[in-house]
């Protein structure tokens, strides 16, 4: 199933997620919503293991919403455009897992879930993403838990911003989820924020077709920001790490992903004047996927290049 082109803005009361624009697919409807001006949330940052779920306590204004979407979209199809918007908003992904890798029953019953009937979690089929961003007012956090019933996809979103934050959520309009998924909009400076807070950043405004290492001749915001960041301090160094989907052999994908990283390096050096001494290039093929390769949306996510900060 392909999610429809139109969208419904994600309206989070009045209003956390001050720096993030996020949108929900057309047909989505709010099942539940709550807002606490002063509260805390245990943001899961690792899977449940050894009898324990690791969480990071974040304090501030806590918003919870559950959205429902009628249809047969898979949990990965539902969470993928939300994940990409979160990354594009400068948040560092802390945990990205499915029902098995999260910890199944134990994860679900040790994390914050809106009670039934507003939220339902299929223990055999759910997806979870948590992310964190440091701002001048403190820590901002967001988590997305997606599952479904036989005929309804359910998306639980919990967000936390510092209580002092007063800015309202900028609502998206006129942008299709398909566009966001294929060529996401990168907020100015979000790549550098992800590097500083998480040590890595997905350059998710780049796009590679299956089997191709050719980078389009476009003014990519992530690369302009990266070039400025490296120009500030000639001692700074990054590694560009290429990734692929799982179409073809590992050997061919290792070579292809390295070529993708080299293509980005050449763009930075030849087009934006970055010193070659500040950049290393590597390829890891399909060994480190962001999403399942069982769907086209997942394959698109996995064809990517990441920047990894090698020194402060």
Q: Based on the domain organization, do 238 and 285 belong to the same domain?
A: yes
Q: Based on the domain organization, do 243 and 303 belong to the same domain?
A: yes
Q: Based on the domain organization, do 131 and 245 belong to the same domain?
A: no
Give dist(CA 41, CA 43) in Å, integer: 6
Task: Give the strand order in the sheet containing 127-135.
Answer: 29-44, 55-70, 152-161, 138-148, 127-135, 92-98
Identify the CATH number of the domain in which residue 266 sits: 3.30.1330.60
Q: Based on the domain organization, do 110 and 232 belong to the same domain?
A: no
Q: For residue 2, tell me if it sits in a domain.
A: no
Q: For residue 32, tell me if it sits in a domain.
A: yes
Q: Tens digits of per-residue pLDDT, 11-68? A: 333 333 344 656 777 778 888 888 888 889 999 999 998 888 999 899 988 888 888 8
Give the ranges where 58-119 is alpha helix by DSSP (H): 75-88, 99-102, 104-108
Domain's final residue, options 145, 161, 182: 182
Q: Based on the domain organization, do 155 and 206 belong to the same domain?
A: no
The pLDDT assigned to 50 comes to 83
Q: Based on the domain organization, do 159 and 45 belong to the same domain?
A: yes
Domain span at 96:
7-182
Q: Quote the pTM value.
A: 0.52
The pLDDT assigned to 189 comes to 57
User: Hey, what are 223's tokens?
Assistant: 């690369």
Q: Based on the domain organization, do 20 and 45 belong to the same domain?
A: yes
The alpha carbons of the chain give a radius of gyration, in whole angstroms, of 19
Structural domain count, the chain: 2
Residues of the chain with pLDDT > 90, as a percent, come to 41
The pLDDT assigned to 218 comes to 73
The pLDDT assigned to 304 comes to 86
The pLDDT assigned to 19 comes to 42
Q: Which of 25, 13, 29, 11 is nearest to 118 (CA)?
A: 29
Rounded (10°) CA dihedral 288, 293, 298, 302:
30
The three state secondary structure string of 249-282 is CHHHHHHHHHHHHHHHHHHHHHHHCCCHHHEEEE
Q: Based on the domain organization, do 128 and 226 belong to the same domain?
A: no
Grouping H, G, I as helix, E, B as strand and the rest as coil, residue 5 is: coil
Q: Based on the domain organization, do 174 and 195 belong to the same domain?
A: no
Q: Based on the domain organization, do 162 and 21 belong to the same domain?
A: yes
Q: For residue 42, tell me if it sits in a domain.
A: yes
First to last CA, the chain: 43
CA angle (207, 171, 179) in 5-degree steps? 20
The pLDDT assigned to 291 comes to 78
Q: For residue 99, tell me if it sits in a domain.
A: yes
Give dist(CA 179, CA 289) in Å, integer: 21
Q: Based on the domain organization, do 160 and 14 belong to the same domain?
A: yes
Q: Do 93 and 86 meet the contact criterion of CB atoms below 8 Å apart?
A: yes
**210: how many CB neighbours lie within 10 A of its CB?**
13
The pLDDT assigned to 212 comes to 72
Q: For residue 1, tell me if it sits in a domain.
A: no
Domain's final residue, options 182, 207, 229: 182
pLDDT at 7 over 50: no
Question: How far is the CA of 95 from the CAs of 73, 144, 250, in angstroms?
Answer: 22, 10, 25
Grouping H, G, I as helix, E, B as strand and the rest as coil, residue 246 is: coil
Looking at the DSSP bridge assignments, the partners of residue 280 are 239
The DSSP output letter for 1 is: -
Q: Based on the domain organization, do 163 and 220 belong to the same domain?
A: no
Domain's final residue, options 182, 217, 239: 182
Which pLDDT band holds residue 176 (cuts at 50, 70, 90)? Answer: very low
The pLDDT assigned to 208 comes to 61
């Amino acid at each position: 199933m392909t999610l429809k082109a139109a969208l419904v803005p994600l309206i989070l009361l009045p209003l956390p997620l001050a720096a993030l624009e996020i949108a929900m697919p057309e047909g989505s409807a709010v099942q539940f919503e709550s807002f606490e001006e002063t509260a805390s949330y245990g943001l899961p940052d690792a899977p449940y293991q050894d009898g324990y779920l690791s969480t990071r306590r974040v304090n501030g204004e806590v918003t919870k919403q559950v959205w429902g979407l009628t249809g047969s979209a898979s949990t990965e199809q539902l969470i993928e455009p939300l994940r990409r918007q979160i990354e594009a908003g400068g948040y560092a992904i802390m945990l990205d897992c499915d029902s098995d890798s999260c910890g199944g029953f134990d994860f679900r019953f040790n994390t914050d879930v809106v009670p039934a009937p507003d939220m339902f979690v299929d223990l055999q089929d759910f997806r979870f993403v948590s992310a964190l961003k440091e701002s001048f007012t403190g820590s901002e956090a967001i988590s997305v838990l997606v599952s479904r019933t036989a005929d309804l996809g359910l998306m639980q979103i919990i967000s936390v911003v510092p209580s002092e934050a007063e800015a309202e959520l900028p609502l998206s309009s006129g942008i299709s989820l398909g566009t966001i998924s294929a060529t996401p909009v990168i907020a100015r400076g979000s790549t550098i924020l992800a590097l500083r807070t998480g040590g890595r950043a997905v350059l998710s405004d780049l796009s590679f077709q299956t089997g191709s290492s050719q980078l389009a001749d476009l003014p990519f915001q992530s690369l302009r920001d990266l070039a400025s960041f490296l120009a500030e301090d000639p001692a700074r160094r990054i590694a560009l790490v290429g990734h692929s989907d799982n179409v073809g052999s590992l050997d061919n994908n290792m070579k292809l992903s390295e070529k993708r990283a080299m293509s980005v390096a050449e763009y930075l050096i030849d087009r934006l004047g970055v010193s070659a001494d500040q950049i290393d290039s590597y390829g890891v093929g399909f060994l480190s996927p962001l999403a399942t390769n069982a769907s086209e949306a997942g394959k698109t996510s996995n064809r990517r290049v990441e920047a990894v900060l090698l020194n402060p």
